[in-house]
Amino acid sequence: MGFTVLLVVGLLIIWRGHASSDRESARTPILLSIVLLALSVGVYAFLGQPTYQPAGGVSNEAENSDLAGLTGTEFNQKRIEEIQNKLRDDKQNGELWYALGNAYMYASEYANAALSFSYSARLADEPQANIFSAQATAIYYRDGQRLSTEVDQLLDQALALDENNLPTLMLLASDYFLNARYQKAIDTWQQALDSEHPDLNRVELITAINRAKKLL
């Protein structure tokens, strides 16, 4: 779920920043299609799923009562505060740093997200492709949607560990598309398609590819 939020946030920023011209507006359906391709695959890089639990062992019933009526922003802020409290007692917990990074991404606090993901990477027992891709994405948006040398290096590390790392491929494809490198975008989406990952929405990905082809 965390990386889905991450990509949705990023693509909404892309849409807001490029909606002023007719040609960029024509790209919007493709970008919105990419959102549907955002995967929960390996988002929590250590165990494959969230391990974060509310502080203090609060029961689900009590937790739901406390969260009732909160907006998405308020809920996320509460989550940030709870993770921060846990980290005060366990600063060496890489999973918590990763969860904090995702929460910061939702809040559009990209610098804080990048820092949190960097701590998660340092604390991982072994290099994790999804941590590198998350860190790269945070820096990418922090720097105004720019593929800097630092971002390239992180994405290279992710792909060295997993040549079909889907978050990495989605970020690269969307950047290629935004910079009118349509064939590169198509090729990268095709690579994701060829990976045949079971969670991949093939229909939406093929739709995105076909729409991009119309702009060649």
Give per-residue pLDDT as tens, 76-101.
Answer: 899 999 999 999 999 999 999 999 99
Task: Tell me the mean pLDDT in the region 153-169.
Answer: 95
Residue type, 189: W
Look over the chain and give the mean of its residue pLDDT values, rounded to a whole number: 77
State how far the alpha carbon of 131 is from the alpha carbons of 32, 42, 66, 137, 165, in Å.
24, 9, 31, 10, 11
State how far the alpha carbon of 196 is from the alpha carbons of 95, 141, 152, 185, in Å.
28, 28, 25, 18
Share above pLDDT 90 across residues of the chain, in percent, rounded to a whole number: 50
Q: Is pLDDT of 137 > 60?
A: yes
First CA to last CA distance, the chain: 33
pLDDT, greater one: 69 or 124 = 124
Cβ count within 10 A of residue 92: 10
**How confident is residue 2, by pLDDT bands cut at 50, 70 and 90?**
very low
- Rounded Cα distance between 191 and 37, Å, is 13
Domain boundaries in the chain? Answer: 2-53+70-213
User: Checking phi first, is residue 50 left (phi over 0); if not, alpha (psi -120 to 50) or beta?
Assistant: beta
- Rounded Cα distance between 124 and 187, Å, is 32
Residue type, 154: L
Give residue-wise pLDDT tens across range 42-87.
333 332 333 333 333 334 554 555 667 788 888 989 999 999 999 9
2-53+70-213 domain in CATH 1.25.40.10?
Answer: yes
| pLDDT given at position 200 | 78
200: helix, coil or strand?
coil
Q: What are phi and psi of 37, to 5 degrees?
A: -90, -10
Radius of gyration of the chain from its Cα atoms, rounded to whole angstroms: 18
